[in-house]
Amino acid sequence: MKANYTKYILNFKQASGTSRGVLQTKETYFIVISDQEKIGYGETGLFRGLSADDRNDYEEKLTWACQHIYLGLEQLRAELLEFPSIQFGLEQAFLSLESVGNFELFPSDFTKGEASIPINGLIWMGNESFMQQQIEDKLKAGFNTIKMKIGAIDFDTELKLLAAIRKQFSSKEITLRVDANGAFTSKNALQKLDRLSAYDLHSIEQPIQQGQIKEMQDLCRKTPVPIALDEELIGVFSYQQKKEVLQEIQPQYIILKPSLVGGFYGSNEWISLANKQKIPYWVTSALESNIGLNAISQYTYTLESNLPQGLGTGSLFTNNIKSPLEVRQGNIHYNTKKEWKITI
């Protein structure tokens, strides 16, 4: 068995704003495993500035993983505990190697094209008119769950945009989520949450920056808007650490990004612990190409979650890998009439 990796730069169709700045490109890596008869593909979706494995020795670890591919997934995972995106890429590649046709990692009604997954429509940060246009486009496209990134422009303007949606649609018609990406401070967060509560939001993701356990615990206890932990789960590697985070903070939701939390294995650990505390969850992609998005989508379908997921990033890039994934009427589908076109 042999393995190698390739670096790939994804180019955004248009610059996409977050509270961390404006994104124009997204760096990612593909792992390819081969034996005498088959080939397997995986994506190690490193996210610069966010991933716990955004380290100077990242490519060194990727090289090591490829050189030691013969060790098998379980031992490689143990050796790469602090490199969650590499763990995830290896999981995908081994499953792909074993699959029929390379990309049916979790055979189901989803991969047969007979079922779809409801997802939220993502509104990127920008000026008011840009964000308003995105909202109108998502509503026209059939989304009934909208997720708006907040925290980079004037807060009153963001509230104005939410108010405009609520003036037109009730919470029974359109579900609203917001994602602060840690943009609030521990001093102003509760006051901002009080103002946001006027718009009947489903949830807010990561209102304050990760690592402030006591402050987040206090917010989750007092908040008028349900809080979903997102970045808070990044860099928490051991099962015991994960257990302590959930027990101490007691959030209303958690959000799982497989590239950032150790792939399927890491996500399953969080899910097991969340289920014990009766904490609902949903799964979100993290700007992977369609190779990673495909793996996340297939996995997510097997979880049988009844919440809209965050899986609609595949159309953001000009040079994405051609795949059968499609977003139609607020759902992600696997179109079996389309074929994969691998250009890596």
Which residue numbers are catalytic? 149, 257
Map 34-89 to HEC letters.
ECCCCEEEEEECCCCCCCCCCCCCHHHHHHHHHHCHHHCHHHHHHHCCCCHHHHHH
Helix (H) or strand (E) holding 342: none
Report the distance separating Cα 235 and Cα 327, nearest Å. Answer: 31
Contacts for 241 with CB less than 8 Å, ≥ 6 apart? none
**Distance set, CA 107 to CA 94, 269, 299, 328 (Å):** 15, 22, 9, 21
Q: What is the spatial distance between Cα 117 and Cα 331, in angstroms, rounded to a whole number?
A: 5
Residue pair 84/263 in contact by the 8 Å Cβ criterion: yes
Strands 145-149 and 253-256: unpaired
Residue 302's region, left for phi above 0, alpha for psi from -120 to 50, else beta, is alpha
* Distance in angstroms (rounded) separating the CA atoms of residues 190 and 52: 28
The answer to whether 58 and 82 are in contact (CB under 8 A) is no
Cα(264)–Cα(268) distance, integer angstroms: 6
3-state secondary structure of 224: coil
Neighbour order of strands in the sheet with 21-34: 2-18, 21-34, 39-44
